[in-house]
Structures are given as C-alpha cells and as structure tokens.
A and B are shown apart, each in its own frame.
Chain A
Amino acid sequence: MKNSLPLSSELDRRAYLSLAAKGFLGVSILPWVTPSPLGAAGLGLNRPFNYAPKAKNVIYLYMSGGMSHLDTLDPKSTEVRGPMESIGTKTDGMMLAETLPLVANHSEKIAVVRGLTSTKGAHEQGNYFMHTSYDKRGTIVHPSMGSWVTRLDGRFNPTLPGAVVVGTGNAHPLSGFLSTQHQPLKVGSPGKGLANCEHKGVTEEKFSRNLNLAKKLDQSFVEKYTLASVRSYADMYEDAVRLMRSKDLDAFDLSKEPQEVRAAYGRDTFGQGVLLARRLVEKQVRFVEVQLGGWDTHNNNYERIFERCDILDQALSALLDDLHKRGMLEETLVVLATEFGRTPDYNVNEGRDHYPKAFSCMLAGGGIRGGQVWGGTDSEGREVVDGITQIPDFNATIAYALGLPLDEIIFSPSRRPFTLADKGQPLTQLF
C-alpha cells in the first residue's frame, strides 16, 4: 500500500533481503549483516528520503598512476591534445578522445564527471585519497569504499567475501581501521581465480578434525595474546572455510564463461578481471575493484595512452554491454576512477606529468542517468570552470547510489570519529 513511498521501498528492499536470507539459510541471526537492518539506527540524517537507491553492488575500475583526462574523457583543442583526435558519441555534445571508441557507443549509459579536483599530486597520497576520502596520515589507515559498504550495509552473499580487489599492489588501504571481517579479498591474477580452495586428498572429516585440533593446540597462545593482529586470523579462518564450502565458489572460475564472452572483455589481465567482477557481482558481492596500472605516462604519453586505452576501452564497453543485456545495469553501479589527471603541457620526454587540479572520472548504471556530462574545464583542461567536484563528493555519490548513510559515525579503535565520505556531498543531480 505504501510501497510507492521511497523510504518504505528502501526498507522493504532490506527487509526482503534479510528475510530471503533467513528463509534460504534457516537462520535468524546473520552475523555478517550489520545489526538491526530493519531498525532506524542505521538510517542517518543524510539518508535520501526522496530517492530510492537502485544500486545494490559496485564495480569500481581504478586507473592506477593517474589517467590523463585530456586523452580520454575530457578531450581538448589540438594544441593541448597533440595528435590525438576527439570523437563524437551517440549523445549530443558528449565528445570523448579517439582512444575510447567502443565506450563512445555506450554514451547513453554513462555520466562523465569532468570537474574533479584535488590537491594530492603524488601517487601514494592521491590513490589513498581517492580510495578513502581522507588524507593519508602516518597514524591511522582509513577504510576503502568496499569495506565501508559491508560495514554499513552488510554482505548480501553470506559465503562469498563482501568486497574483492583485483590486481592491486600493497598500497591499497583495504579495510583500514575497520575489523578484518570487512577486508576486501585480494585476487592476484583473475585467470587463475582463487587458488587453494579445495582440501584435496583430505577428507572433510579429517579437515574438520584438524581445524579443531589446531584451535585447541593454539588456545594457550591465543589466550595469552588477545591482540587484534592475532584475533584477525580467527576471522580469516572462518571466512576462508565458509568460502571453501560456498556453493558460489564457481563465481571465481572464469573457465565457466563461454570463450566469446572472455574474448569480448579482452584477453589481458584487466579485461579478465572486469569479467570476474561481473561474475562476482552477479553472486551479490557488494564491491569489486579492478585495477589497471601503467597510467603514469611521464614518457611517450601518446603511445602509452593508446596502449592503456585499448585495454580499458574493450573491457569497459564489454562490461556495460554485458550488464545491460543481463538486466543488471540498474542495480550495478560502474565507476571509472583515478588519482589525478595529467598536465596539459607535454614535458621533454613527450610525456605528461601529474595534474591533480583538474581531472575526470565516470559513472554508469546503478540509477545514474546516462548520456550526461557533469562539470567542465577550461579550453586547455587546466582549471575546473564548472561543477567543481571534490573527491569526497565523488565518493559520496557512490554511497548515495547505494543508499548508504553518509552521516553515520563509525569510531576507529582509537575512538576517533569517521564517516564514509568525510564531508563529501553527493552529486544528486546525476541520478
């Protein structure tokens, strides 16, 4: 009766998920779902009363090293662009660089955000800021977005991890100060899937017996050292065993995909990672990040951008196409992000250097209105002249799409208060 009201439909969605899980598992208390999903406690003041979030899960493509905005999403005049051409898209007025011809065919699905700006011009700091909305400090590690999602909104699939990161180095903040239950699972090479998931040559009975024995023999040590670093391994053992027994473990196995689908995403690690992301999201993993490195084009920008964009263009366009055909695009938010842009001026090595002052990202699906460009830079891509967007605003937009409470305060173990996008305000106009 009241289902037409946005708030109640949001509550219904949660109630449904919770009930579905109960019916399905025959349990009434789900430790992996945040406490009282039906109560009002989790609903902060910034909870969108006038917007029913459509996105359930996120595929987050991170271009590590600083993707040149000028040669991808924000093409400029020839002096700045060099030999790069711009191309039109299906959407009137939306121009992209010629490096992304396949993505251009999906312009009606995407929202380009061209007004991003930041002050972090170094990889480590910029990458960290994009992932956490907080400045990198030596004394605390903030959680990345995927961990916030499971912390504030729980897992949807009880046996698979809540968040997964594919192809990242050691710099990823992962779950930061949040408990390791929220730690995204790192996958090294998507083609190999998740290694060591079966206890080959050991019967289930012996496997369980051994686990129990290990627990008992370790008891005195674990009781003596009740430290977070020690305890977190207990969480990981629980997660690992649950994962091993998951009926959805196949989600990690790309060989289950038809060859033509694998080829469509691109045979490279990134393309296969994006395909893996789709498979995981299909099984309700909440947040899957896939990284593509090599964007730090200090040398030979022109050639290297083409090389990177070939990979990105193929995978991203295949993903948008695939999600659309499967009817998953509405509930899946696709994000293209990077730490900063590149200088409009070419350097002596025919490269572009770091440029945090103005750069671009992209959103699609998950309730985002496609075919739009938000914000803009001047004629050389040096300054944001329209729709200036701070990184926390961009991250708040992701949270908004998922219906996460932007003002819910979570305390770190050192009792410092944090919110998921710091003070960022969502770009509600994109929806």
Chain B
Amino acid sequence: MKRLSFAQVFSFLFLPFLLDAKDFRLAPAELALEVSRIDQILQSTHKDNQVSSTKTLPPSLLVRRIYLTAAGRIPSYPELEKFAPFDQPNLKEKLIDQLLQSRAYESQMFNWWADHLRAKTFVMGQANQIGAGFLYVDWLKSQVAENVPFDEMARSVIASEGYPWENGAVGYYIRDDGMPLENMSNTAELFLGTQMVCAQCHNHPFDKWTQMEYYKMAAHTYGMVTRLQGDRAGEIRKIIKDKQKEMGSMQMSAMVAKGDSKEARAFRQALQDMLLPLQFGARHQDRKLKLPHDYKYDDAKPHQVVQAGVIFDSNTTRENGELSMVDQYANWMTSPKNPRFTKVIANRMWKKVFGRGLVEPLNDWKDDTEASIPPLLDHLAELMVRLDYDLREFQRVLMNLEIFEKEAYPKELEPLDPYLFPAPVLTRMSAEQLWDSLLAIFVPDVDQRSWEEEVDHIKLKKETLEKYRQKVESMGSAQLIEYVRDGLQQSLEIQEEMNGLSAQIKEAVEADDREELSQLKNRQNQLRGRQQSAIASLIMGEEFDVRPMYRNNPFPSKKPPSQDRKKFPHYLRRASEQNSPTGADHFLREFGQSDRELIDNARKEASVPQVLNLLNSHLRWKVVDPNSVLTEKVIEKATVEEKIEVIYLGMLQRKPTDEEMNLCIDTLDLGDPPLLAAYQKGNAPEKQKNAEKKWEWENKRYIKKVHDELRHLAWVLLNTREFSFIQ
C-alpha cells in the first residue's frame, strides 16, 4: 500500500494531461492499483522465500532499459540529454507512456509479431509473384499501429478470408500453402503453447496428445483453401472444350488443357498469368480431412474421415450453425475461458519485459506445468482479460513494476531453475535492438525512416490489384477467353524472343561472360514481365499500368536522391522497415534475427561473424562519421573530458568513472592542446596576429586528431559487453 499512495499522487498530478492520452486503457490511478497488486505478490514471494533483490538502477540506465523495452533501442544522445540531471518527478512513468505511444513502440512490436506469426516478406512459390508476403507484412504493421488486441489478432489470422490486399491476414495461410497440418501445429504452439506436431505421425511421446486429437484439431482448418481461382480456371477449360466440340476448330483444340503444342502451352501460360493475381487468398470451404493410410490405433481406421474436435473443454458453445467451422475454432481458441490461451500470452509478454518466462520453456506447456510463481501467473492472466488483451497496456503495467527498476540478476540460471524474479534477467540485446540502437546513435529521426518508395509501391500494388479484381469479376468466363485468345499471338512472339535469349544465355554461361550474362538475364526478365502482364494489360486497357501487380520492387526513382538520403542511405532504416527476415548475411541475421520459419525463433548466442562485424564492418565508423548525430554533440563540447563523456552517454547511457576517464586519456593518443599563451609569449605586438593564426592552425590539427582518436573510443565501447547487454 505504500507504493499506492505515491502512485496516487502521481495520478492526480497528471490526470489532466492523461485525459488527452485517451488511447491508454487504464487511468493513472487504475494503473497504479494494478501495479501495486503485482508488486505485492512479488514482495511477499520474495519475503517468504528469503530472496533479495538487486540494487536499483541509476536513473540514466533505467532510461536505457525503458527505451530498449518500449522503443526497441537505446536513446540517442539528444534524447538522453533532455532528462539530465534525471531529477524530474515521475520520470519513469512519463517516459514509459511517451514511448508506448510512439512509432518506436510499433517498430519493436512488429518485430515481436513477425517472429511469432512467421511473417515473411518473401513467401514460397507463385504467391510471391504477386507479393503476398509483402501484403502480409503490410497488414501486420497496420494492426500493430492500431494496437489491435491480441485475441482479435488471433481470430483475424485463424479465420482470415479474402484476397491478400483486402485482408493481409490471409498471409498466415498463404505462407503455409500446401501444408495445412503444419499450419495447425504452429497455431496450437503459438496460441496454446503446446507442441502437437509430434502427434502428426503417432501419439506424442512426451505429451498426452494422441494422433487422433491432432487430426481432430487439424480438421477445423483443413477446409481453409488458399487457391481461389480453381473454379474459374475449370469453368474456362470447360467452355473451351464445349466450344471445341461445337466448332471443331483446330486452334481451339490446341488450347485445351492437355495439349503439348507450342500454342497449347502458351495458352495455358497466358491463362495462368491472367488469373495469377487473383489466385491466392483464403476461403473457408467444406473439405474433409482423412486419417493417414498408416493410422495404427484402435479408435479408427486408416483413411477414415475425421470430425473436428478440440483438445480442451472451454465451455464455449462451439457449435453455432451460422458460423463456419474455422470461425467456431477461432472463437474457441481465443475464448478467455480457454485455460491456456490467456496464460500463454501473459507468459510471453512477461518474458518479453523481464527476459525469462514464469513458465519455461515458452512453447511446451503440459497439464502439470507450474509457473515459478503460480499466483502471479494466475493474476497476470486475469489482468490480461481485464485489459481486453491490450498488449501495450499489459506491458505498461509490467514496466511500471518495482522490479523493472532493478539491475539485472547477476547469477547463472539453469533452464529449469524456478526463478522468483527478484530482478530482470540479464539478456543480450536482440538482433533488432542492437541494429536499431546502432542506428539511433547516429541517424537522426531514426523511428520515422522507412523506404518510402517501397511503401508507396505496396500502396499502388494494392490499388492495382483491387481494380483488376473488380474488372475481372465483372466479366464472364467466355469474355475472358476472348482476351486470352487475343493476347495469345503477342505472348507467343515474346516467347520466341525469350527462346532466342535462352540460347544466348547458354553461350554466355559457357564463355563465362558475366557482364553479357547479367544483361541477357535482365532482358529476359523484362520480357517475362511483359509476357506475364500481356493479357491483364488487354483487359485493363493501354492506359492502365498493370505491372505493380506482378512486381514487388518499386520502380527506379527518377528523382535525384535528397541530401538527407545521400547522408543516410535507405538501408539505414530500422529492422522493422527491412525485409522480414533480412538476407542470410545481413547484420540482423548474424545477430540472430528470427528466420521466420518457426515461432519465437530469434537467437542470442555469441558467434564469430558477430564479433567480426563489430570489429571490422563499415558500421563501426558510421557511428562517429561526420554526419553522425553523436559526432555533432562531440564537436560541440570543448574539453576532451566532456567529449569522452558524450561518447559514453551516447553509447552506454552513463558517464565514465574517474578510473575509466583516466584510462581513456592515457591510452588514446590525444596529445596536449596547444596553448595560445605559448605562441604569444616573447612575440612583439605586431607579430601577435601571426602567432595567433599559427596557434589556430595547430589547434585545429589538434582537434582533428582528438576526434580521430575518439572514433576509436566509440569503436572500443561498441565492442564491450556492456554495450550489447541490458543491465
């Protein structure tokens, strides 16, 4: 109750301001109450078990922790400077609120979501040609920006329907195209924290799940189809067949699906290209799941159809005639009465903030799983429901807890040790935190940066696809065939040209002529692009540019790059604005960014390439190059000591100790500043001006040397554990 009074004071002080901040669910007094309840549970646990906490973090390091948790990066020097000397009342509470409402929060939450929803910019197979992954990622960003509650997000992905540009959530199924059983295992792992995947082939060896239960679960979403144009294509084929009988036309017969003539292949290709933009999405259908051929248990026979069934009783009425099977499933999954759903997400969020779950591991819950502090997890689950699964509000409560202010726990924890959370666990920054922090040191307005050309392109892509959909849907199949036939000749001509190129490419490969090869390949890609969009162009008319449908990269910009872009090329944007995931040799991947193949798949182990990166990559100088935000501040300061302090504050968010300061000054080759007096001494008054000039010149040289050496200091701090770990 002691804390409550303090918090109440705070809430009265800030109530007028916070009425504006209407997006927060909890009023300050309510927040304080929730915080104190959890603080009390922790305090009594620590008291009963005689666990003592660590020291309270110094304020500037608390700011560092708050930034890393809420904004996903360290504060820049100018941001940190605003708080000095860190004596404002309620600094912590204010900063948490401010950051949770910033774009930086969205950025780091996107990373979390992308890791958990396995959101990939580039999906496998043909769906990638229309950029289904881009649209999935784009959708996810919009949801995070709107702070859509967790249960609603879960329902959105599980029961998603539509085309990817209408509802990007369908990307959740498109990314697992052709793998409905794996998709279900992932859904169960993400939302129920249980690994059913082993039960796909046999009863689970270490868990209670039977193969039958697995199939019953999978039966819910087995009807989720991701290929939408099957009917249309079938209809078109049928019309052609009928027409062919009717007309006996040779040309038509060549077009029939099974023919192997040049025309037949071109026709099929053209038809496919025409329908491709409308091919992928998600729709709930009635499709029956059968047991596998080698089903070996007594309760059913191989190949028997499986009725959908759930693995926990959650007292929700699943059977609702008006809802599709998938909708019923989504409702069951996300019901607050589902015993797992809420606890699993509460535990995930706890780990996100404090570095370790109350239940470990996160994705292997069993019936007898116990939290390290059982009443706390129960309480958090209730809180999650009370907050309507608002993850931002939930994290707001956690970040305001007393233990959040503590120094990280300094002792080794074994994976199974029940940890009672006297303090947060020491963790290395995630790959994203590290990359974003590096950027924050030297890139101004780092949260506001994206690759605008790409953002615009995605918008254009969505609009183009929607117009195309409307047009095609307004047409009958017979009409579409006419278009295909009209465009066939053009398509064939392009094909001829491409065949010619293929021969040249083969020659170039043999001659190993790299330049020629890349030119030829470029031309071939252009031709394929033209061929692919030929029919769509006919349908939409000359004026309409259909290329954005088939193309994921923005068109090359005609504008010369701006000054800002020259200083800070667009690759210097936050992790959330990069491809998801980045390429295998990107900084982010080397530091363990999730590859988006499995849920919660980011890693934090040390590796040699990471070290090589910190030691030698070009980024090490960027931090203190002439354009750097930090450099600007270093220059402003007059003395070497002040400059060193700026670098320390800008990178580690603390001042150096006296010992460290001395060590820096002794080790770095800084030399002594030239003294003006020494130059003036003994000179006649008329020669004073010359002496001063000489001094000025020497002084400039000295400053340059100092700055040069301070670059090395920044490099040195970058290569400390203190930089990359969150204390």
In the complex, whether B271 has a CB less than 8 A from a CB of chain A is: no
Closest to A119 in B: B202
Q: Are A218 and B720 in contact (CB under 8 A)?
A: yes
Chain B residues within an 8 Å CB radius of A183: 605-608
Q: Are A236 and B601 in contact (CB under 8 A)?
A: no
Cβ-defined partner of A213 (8 Å) among B201, B613, B621, B716: B716
Chain A residues within an 8 Å CB radius of B509: 267
In the complex, whether A229 has a CB less than 8 A from a CB of chain B is: yes
Chain A 102-131 interface mask (CB, 8 Å, partner B; 1/0): 000000000000000001111111000000
Q: Are A210 and B712 in contact (CB under 8 A)?
A: yes
Question: Considering the complex, which residues of chain A in the window 373-410 have a beta carbon less than 8 Å from any beta carbon of chain B?
Answer: 382
Total chain B interface residues with beta-carbon distance under 8 A: 77
Q: Are A225 and B725 in contact (CB under 8 A)?
A: yes
* Most chain B beta-carbon contacts within 10 A, residue among A201, A236, A267: A236
Cβ-defined partner of B611 (8 Å) among A169, A227, A230, A237: A237
Question: Considering the complex, which residues of chain B in the window 178-236 have a beta carbon less than 8 Å from any beta carbon of chain A?
Answer: 178-179, 182, 185, 195, 197-198, 200-202, 205-206
Q: Are B720 and A221 in contact (CB under 8 A)?
A: yes
* Most chain A beta-carbon contacts within 10 A, residue among B177, B178, B414, B509: B178
Chain B residues within an 8 Å CB radius of A230: 426, 721, 725
Q: Are A357 and B294 in contact (CB under 8 A)?
A: yes
Chain B residues within an 8 Å CB radius of A224: 410
Chain A residues within an 8 Å CB radius of B724: 233
Cβ-defined partner of B663 (8 Å) among A135, A194, A216, A345: A216
Chain A residues within an 8 Å CB radius of B601: 170-171
Q: Given A194-B612, A198-B616, does the pair A122, B185 have CB atoms closer than 8 Å? A: yes
Distance between A40 CB and nearest chain B CB, rounded to angstroms? 32
Q: Are A119 and B201 in contact (CB under 8 A)?
A: yes
Distance between A259 CB and nearest chain B CB, rounded to angstroms? 6
Bound form: Cα–Cα A427–B202 in Å: 27
In the complex, whether A94 has a CB less than 8 A from a CB of chain B is: no
Q: Are A299 and B415 in contact (CB under 8 A)?
A: no
Bound form: Cα–Cα A187–B590 in Å: 9
Closest to B594 in A: A170
In the complex, whether B664 has a CB less than 8 A from a CB of chain A is: yes
In the complex, whether B248 has a CB less than 8 A from a CB of chain A is: no
In the complex, whether A268 has a CB less than 8 A from a CB of chain B is: no
In the complex, whether A7 has a CB less than 8 A from a CB of chain B is: no
Distance between B342 CB and nearest chain A CB, rounded to angstroms? 20
Q: Given A125-B197, A188-B584, does the pair A169, B205 have CB atoms closer than 8 Å? A: no
In the complex, whether A240 has a CB less than 8 A from a CB of chain B is: yes
Cβ-defined partner of B616 (8 Å) among A196, A206, A209: A196
In the complex, whether B722 has a CB less than 8 A from a CB of chain A is: yes
Cβ-defined partner of B415 (8 Å) among A125, A140, A345: A140
Cβ-defined partner of A345 (8 Å) among B293, B412, B621: B293
In the complex, whether A138 has a CB less than 8 A from a CB of chain B is: yes
Bound form: Cα–Cα A218–B664 in Å: 12
Bound form: Cα–Cα A210–B621 in Å: 14
Closest to A356 in B: B201
Cβ-defined partner of A170 (8 Å) among B198, B598, B617: B598
In the complex, whether A349 has a CB less than 8 A from a CB of chain B is: yes
Q: Given A122-B200, A230-B725, A413-B414, does the pair A214, B606 have CB atoms closer than 8 Å? A: no
Q: Are B721 and A218 in contact (CB under 8 A)?
A: yes
Q: Are A195 and B585 in contact (CB under 8 A)?
A: yes
In the complex, whether A324 has a CB less than 8 A from a CB of chain B is: no
Distance between B222 CB and nearest chain A CB, rounded to angstroms? 12
Question: Considering the complex, which residues of chain B in the window 618-660 have a beta carbon less than 8 Å from any beta carbon of chain A?
Answer: 621, 660
Cβ-defined partner of B410 (8 Å) among A140, A171, A225: A225
Cβ-defined partner of A210 (8 Å) among B201, B612, B715, B727: B715
In the complex, whether B592 has a CB less than 8 A from a CB of chain A is: yes
Distance between B672 CB and nearest chain A CB, rounded to angstroms? 19
Distance between A68 CB and nearest chain B CB, rounded to angstroms? 15
Q: Are B606 and A235 in contact (CB under 8 A)?
A: yes
Cβ-defined partner of B613 (8 Å) among A195, A235, A263: A195
Cβ-defined partner of A171 (8 Å) among B182, B416, B590, B597: B597
Chain A residues within an 8 Å CB radius of B713: 213
* Most chain B beta-carbon contacts within 10 A, residue among A124, A228, A263: A124
Question: Considering the complex, which residues of chain B in the window 669-727 have a beta carbon less than 8 Å from any beta carbon of chain A?
Answer: 712-713, 715-717, 719-722, 724-725, 727
Q: Are B585 and A243 in contact (CB under 8 A)?
A: no
Bound form: Cα–Cα A198–B620 in Å: 13
In the complex, whether A326 has a CB less than 8 A from a CB of chain B is: no
Q: Are B414 and A414 in contact (CB under 8 A)?
A: yes
Question: Considering the complex, which residues of chain A in the window 227-273 have a beta carbon less than 8 Å from any beta carbon of chain B?
Answer: 227-230, 232-233, 235-237, 239-241, 243-244, 259, 263, 267
Bound form: Cα–Cα A140–B360 in Å: 11
Question: Considering the complex, which residues of chain A in the window 55-79 have a beta carbon less than 8 Å from any beta carbon of chain B?
Answer: none
Q: Given A169-B595, A188-B583, A413-B414, does the pair A236, B611 have CB atoms closer than 8 Å? A: yes
Closest to A344 in B: B293
In the complex, whether A222 has a CB less than 8 A from a CB of chain B is: yes
Closest to B414 in A: A414
Closest to A183 in B: B607
In the complex, whether B615 has a CB less than 8 A from a CB of chain A is: yes
In the complex, whether B45 has a CB less than 8 A from a CB of chain A is: no
Chain B residues within an 8 Å CB radius of A354: 200-201
Q: Are B590 and A170 in contact (CB under 8 A)?
A: no
Chain B residues within an 8 Å CB radius of A299: 125, 177-178
Bound form: Cα–Cα A185–B182 in Å: 30
Q: Are A214 and B719 in contact (CB under 8 A)?
A: yes
Bound form: Cα–Cα A274–B150 in Å: 45
In the complex, whether A174 has a CB less than 8 A from a CB of chain B is: yes
Chain B residues within an 8 Å CB radius of A123: 182
Closest to B713 in A: A213
Closest to B718 in A: A214
Chain B residues within an 8 Å CB radius of A185: 607-609
In the complex, whether B603 has a CB less than 8 A from a CB of chain A is: yes
Bound form: Cα–Cα A365–B232 in Å: 54
Q: Given A121-B200, A167-B584, A195-B617, does the pair A217, B612 have CB atoms closer than 8 Å? A: no
Chain A residues within an 8 Å CB radius of B408: 225
Q: Are B595 and A170 in contact (CB under 8 A)?
A: yes
Bound form: Cα–Cα A124–B423 in Å: 33
Chain B residues within an 8 Å CB radius of A211: 719
Cβ-defined partner of A125 (8 Å) among B198, B590, B664, B720: B198
In the complex, whether A197 has a CB less than 8 A from a CB of chain B is: yes
Closest to A232 in B: B606
In the complex, whether A139 has a CB less than 8 A from a CB of chain B is: yes
Cβ-defined partner of B197 (8 Å) among A124, A226, A345: A124
Cβ-defined partner of A189 (8 Å) among B427, B584, B594: B584
In the complex, whether B667 has a CB less than 8 A from a CB of chain A is: yes
Chain A residues within an 8 Å CB radius of B410: 224-227
Inter-chain pairs besides A122-B185, A122-B201, A170-B595, 18 sampled, C-beta below 8 Å: A121-B198, A121-B201, A125-B198, A137-B364, A170-B592, A170-B602, A180-B605, A188-B583, A188-B585, A213-B663, A217-B716, A227-B426, A228-B412, A233-B721, A233-B724, A236-B607, A240-B608, A296-B179
Instruction: List 23 A–B pairs whose Cβ atoms lie within 8 Å, in order of A's numbering.
Output: A119-B205, A121-B198, A121-B202, A135-B205, A170-B594, A183-B608, A185-B607, A196-B615, A198-B616, A217-B716, A221-B725, A225-B410, A225-B721, A227-B426, A229-B604, A229-B606, A229-B725, A236-B607, A236-B611, A240-B615, A243-B608, A413-B414, A414-B415
Q: Which 6 A-B pairs have the closest CB atoms?
A: A188-B585, A138-B361, A121-B201, A188-B584, A138-B364, A240-B611
Chain B interfacial positions (CB closer than 8 Å to A)? 125, 177-179, 182, 185, 195, 197-198, 200-202, 205-206, 293-294, 360-361, 363-364, 408, 410-412, 414-416, 426-428, 509, 512, 583-586, 589-590, 592, 594-595, 597-598, 601-613, 615-617, 621, 660, 663-664, 667-668, 712-713, 715-717, 719-722, 724-725, 727
